[in-house]
Structures are given as structure tokens and as C-alpha cells.
Chain A
Amino acid sequence: MKLNRDRITAILMLLPSIILLGIFVYGFIGQTAYTSLTDWGLNPAQALAINPEIKFVGFDVYRELFTGFIDVRFRQDLVNTFFFTIFFITGSLGIGLLLAFLLDQNIKGENFFRTIFLFPMSLSFIVTGTVWRWLLQPRGGLNTLPTLIGLEPGQFRWLTSRRQIWQFNWQDLPYFTGLLVAAILILITVNSFRQSRRQRLIISLISLILVLAWTFSGARSVELLPYPETHGFNLAFIGIIMAAVWQMSGYTMALYLAGLRGIPGELREAARVDGAGEWQLYRYVILPLLQPITLSAMIILGHISLKIFDLIFAMAGADNATTDVPALLMYLTTFRGNQFSKGAAIAMVLLIMVAAVIIPYLWTSLRSEVKR
């Protein structure tokens, strides 16, 4: 009887948090989703009315974002996020792994080095952004660094450059998406062939053929836009990527280091006794064991990079169109432009991208916990 009452108390104590999160996360997401399907803030008449009349317009706002003439900036923002994410993740993983590897070599003063590599994690992105903004001034900071050893100063305009490379036509997006999916499928196919998992091999091979067939026949004729529109990688992002890597690579280092410390010493000894050199030890024993860490780090960094907002705000300002990302554009359209439904639609696109990364991750990591 008493046990039962305690159990009810327990649920009652959890209830406030459940209700709060239910409303503030799921209720509010629902409301944002609804807002994105209306014309709130898009009709100038609403601004003057006391009780503005808000109409339900279905997916019109989304259609505008992806195919409309005015919202070309949103599409470039998606491209920006794509390139930023790739370089940010690669940079943070690479430097993080290098640092963890170095600290794992019985280094003198290991604590000192670890403290230095990790300290940016305790800073605000705003502080980092302010500092790097100064570092990347066109005629100072990093650009004058070569003059210290007698070279010509650098000329690159880090945050204001308008140069764009790797340009492509937005109309070709289905084609490139097809190629990307095909590349992933090739990897899966090769892997399942190596591990001789026949069922997976057959499925991935069939999907690969289908995707390739579609890419080279149908993909070009899908009409996303009635006119060509070029997008590419804005070089002004290089500085922002550097600052972001500076701030976050300590985090991947900490993850990898925790992983390295978890590898039992006997395993290393055994490999050495078998005649493996240091390089082989890392290549064939330790790196494969770190693979799950790489995956979680990619997901955590990936969702951070999709949401990146404050760093760019502080480094390049909210209005700099060449360094814009969807998270910033949402802020501008909603809180400066009062176009609430468009802001909501951008937020929903962001949410869907983050959810696509996070939900599988939560799913697998909690399921493996239950198994344990």
C-alpha cells in the first residue's frame, strides 16, 4: 500500500516537468508549424489592423522559400550551412583527433595542454566572435602576421569577401543530390560486399542502380526553378569556420581522449607483442575502436552547426548577406521584418534538418542503453 503511494508521488513529482516540456517544446513547435502555414505578417494590411486577419495558406510559404524569386537568399543560406557543416565537422574532428593522439603519448605537462585546448569551450560564441572579428580585420590581425617575418601582408578580406567558388545551378540540385546518394550507396555496397552480408549487398546494389538510372535520365528534367540561379561556397565563411573550429575542437579532443583512456592497456601491449608498430597500432586497433565516438561527435557537431547563430552574429553581423545562415535569416525575418509566417517556415526547415540528425541518434543510443 505504502509502496503504491510512493509510486504515485514519484509520478506527481515528474508531472510538472512533463507538462512544461510538453507545452514549451511540443505545443510550441505545433504552434510554429501552424504559423508557417498562414500568411501572418506577409499581408501588409495586417500591420495596420488592430485584430489582423490571418489566413490559412497551406504550404505557400514553403513553396516561396524553395522556388520563389524573392527568397533566393534562403536557398544560398542552405548552401552556406551545407559547406559550413562539412568544413566545421572535418576541421573539429581532425584537430580534435590530433590533439587527443598527442596527449595520449605520455606528454609532460599534459594537464596544462589539455586546459589550453579546452578553454574556448567555456567561452560564449559572442566572446569568440568578437575576438576573431578583430583578428580578421582586412588590414590587421591575421593579415599582418606575415609582415612579422618580413613578408608582404595578406590581402584576403576575411569576413567581407564576396567571392564564391564551386558554383552550381540550383536547377541541377536533383542531379547533384542523386550523385550524392549514389556515392553513399556505393560505400554501403562496398562495405557489405567486404563483410559478405548478402541481403544488404543486394538491396543496396538495386537501390544504387535505380538512383543512378534516375540521376542520369530524369533528374535533369525536374524543374525546381523556371530560370537558372547560381549558388556556391562563399569564401567569407573561411574565417567563421576557423573560429568555430578553434572553439569546438577541444570538445572532440575531450571525447576522443575519454575514448582512448577507456582502451585497456593490455590491448595495446598485445598488439605490440604481435609486432605492430605505433602507426599500425593506431591504424588497425585504436582508430576502429574510436569509430562510435567519431559518429557521436559528428552528430553533436552537426546539430550545433545547423543551429549556428551567435558566432556569425558577433563576427560578421546579422545583416551580412554573404555570411547568412537559416538560423540568422529566421531571426531577421521574424524580429526585424515581422514576417512571422516566413520566420516560422524557416524555423521548421531548421527543425526538420536537426531532427533528421538527432532522432536516429537518440533512438540508437537509448536502445543500446536498454540492452545494456
Chain B
Amino acid sequence: MSVAIKRRRANWRWLYYSLLGLTTLFFLVPVYLVIVTSLKEPATINLATTWQLPEKWYWQSFAEAWIAFAPKLLNSLILTVSATILSALLGSMNGYVLSKWQFRGANIIFPLMLFGMFIPYQSILIPLFQFLRGIGLYGSIGGLVLAHVVYGLPITTLIFRNYYAEIPNEMLEAGKIDGAGFFGIYRSIIFPLSISGFVVVIIWQFTQIWNEFLFAVTLSRISSQPITVALANLAGGEAVKWNLPMAGAILAALPTLLIYILLGRYFIRGLLAGSVKG
């Protein structure tokens, strides 16, 4: 019986592998084109030879893109790191309270907090813009950090709340018997167990904030521009040669791509956590 099943399944395997090959091609073709174009001499880039390998490897585009984008990459880095750390710390505290110190009304407050991560940010953009201008943060990295911390709170809170829900309450009881209070329990029991939770949240927030565009394009000035805006501006101009935007796209993609390749497991956990049930 089981031999028969195996044989019948074996017949399909060539189909599976050829389908996998086709889909892999679909996912990798754009990558091939980006790399090839970024390594071509600008004069040799034309639409007819799009698919051919460069005749001569030309690294100059990366140097040029680096000079143009280095300040923007630095802006993105400062923005992303500070907003990620702040929203992760706040999210951890919120998750601790919501999972271990349930109070009346928490069942109403939590969904109301969560709703904040689904709204189209256009619906808060005009007041946010006015508010940041009012307190003098419009056009600064600080203003962007503030926006990303606040609107990052729902997802970080959600991930930590679901994460802490797995920690058995008996451990907390033991801590209470030892005389530990709210902060004592957090410091000696919860926080030491949070490392992989923090990794998931930090990776998620880093990727989101690094890649974000709407806040970046409406709330920044040239001096505080993140990389996504700079890239969109460069590629949007019709006159440019394509080697530069392609090299720029690679530079802009590299940080999040590296994180994904090195820590993919945690990235996927963040991805799945976003669908609420966690």
C-alpha cells in the first residue's frame, strides 16, 4: 500500500520541481536585472541590450550612488534605530501590563490600541503635520521618530503581549512571594525571558521604519530626508540613466535584506504576528 502511494507521488515530483523552478525565475528575474543594470557603463545601457551581461564590470555607479545617498542612509539609520528601540521598550512594558496585570477595561483598550496599526495614515496626516509644525519638529528627524514610535506602539504591544502570555503565571507568583513588585518581576523574570521577543520586534520595526515612505515624504525636509524619498526622487526623474537608480535601490535594500537573510526565522515570526492572532 505505502509503496504504491510513494510511486504515485514520485510521478508528480518532476512537475513540482519544474513549477518551483518557474516561480523561482519569476522572483529572481528582477534581481538579475537590477544587478546587471547597476554594473553597466551608463553609455552602454539601452533598452535593446537590457538582458545581456555587462561587457565590462563598471563599479563606478555604486561609488556615485554612495556619494549621493550616504547622508540619506545616515538619516534613515538614525531615524530607524532610535524609533525602533523606543517603540520596542514601550511595547515591552505595555505587553507586560496587558498580559500579566489585567485590569478592568483592558479588553476594550487593547483593541482600540490595535486599530491604530491598520488605519490609513492619510487620515491622521494633516493634524500630525500641523502638530509637528506647532512644536517645531516638522522637517526634523525627531518629528519622524515621534511619528514612528507612536504608530509603532500597536504592533510592538501586540507582539509582546502574545509573547508574554506564554510565560506561566506561576513564575510571577513565585516572584511575588519573594517580595518582588511590579518592576522587580519585570527586571528579574520577564525581561530576561524577552530576548527572542525583542529580536522579533526589533527586526520587524527596523524593516518597517526603514522601508516607510508616506511619513518620510510628507514630514521631512531635504536635510532630514530618509533613503526611500531620495530613491523615489532619483528614479522619478525621467532624464536619469538607469544605472544610478539601480545601484541606489541595492544600497537602500541592503540593510533590511541582510537582516532577512541572517535572521529570517525571526522575521517570519514578526510577519505572522501581524495577523493579530499571533
Contact = CB atoms under 8 A, between A and B. Distances in A.
Contacts of A290: none
Contacts of A135: 29-30, 33
Nearest to A126: B228
Interface stretch (B54-62, B194-202, B252-260): B252-260
A332 to B, nearest CB: 11
Contacts of A303: 118
A157 B8 CA distance: 45
Nearest to A275: B1
Contact of A115 (B98, B114, B261, B276): B261
A18 interface: yes
B48 interface: yes
Interface in A310-328: 310, 313-314, 317, 327
A125 B211 contact: yes
A133 B235 contact: yes
A139 B235 CA distance: 17
A145 B264 contact: no
Main SS of the interface on chain B?
A: helix
A333 to B, nearest CB: 10
B126 A334 contact: yes
Interface stretch (A3-11, A59-67, A224-232): A3-11
Contact of A117 (B27, B48, B210): B27
A107 interface: yes
Interface residues of A, number: 102
A190 interface: no
B109 to A, nearest CB: 6
Q: Pick the most buried of B20, B111, B112: most chain A CB atoms within 10 A of its CB.
A: B20
Contact of A148 (B17, B51, B112, B248): B51
B123 to A, nearest CB: 4
A310 B19 contact: no
Interface in A286-305: 296-297, 300, 303
Contacts of B183: 9
A20 B150 contact: yes
B47 A354 contact: no
B193 to A, nearest CB: 18
Contact of A31 (B127, B157, B235, B246): B127
A144 interface: yes
Contacts of B264: 115, 118
Nearest to B154: A21
A306 interface: yes
Given A122-B256, A354-B118, A29 B272 contact: no
B277 A134 contact: no
Nearest to B26: A246
Nearest to A370: B107
A39 B108 CA distance: 35
Contacts of B126: 31-32, 35, 334, 340, 343-344, 347
Interface of B: 5, 8-9, 12-13, 16-17, 19-20, 23-24, 26-30, 33-34, 37, 46-48, 50-51, 90, 93-94, 97-98, 101, 103, 107, 109-116, 118-120, 122-128, 131, 150-151, 153-154, 157, 176, 181-183, 207, 210-214, 217-218, 228, 231-232, 235-236, 242, 245-246, 248-249, 252-253, 256-257, 259-261, 264, 267-268, 271-272, 274-277
14 contacts: A2-B181, A7-B101, A17-B94, A17-B157, A29-B123, A32-B125, A116-B24, A130-B249, A131-B246, A255-B272, A296-B276, A296-B277, A307-B120, A331-B218
Interface of A: 2-3, 5-7, 9-11, 13-14, 16-18, 20-21, 24-29, 31-32, 35, 95, 98-99, 102, 105, 107, 113, 115-127, 129-135, 137, 139-141, 144-145, 148, 246, 251, 254-255, 258, 272, 277-278, 296-297, 300, 303, 306-307, 309-310, 313-314, 317, 327, 330-331, 334-335, 340, 343-344, 346-348, 350-351, 354-355, 358-359, 361-363, 365-366, 368-370
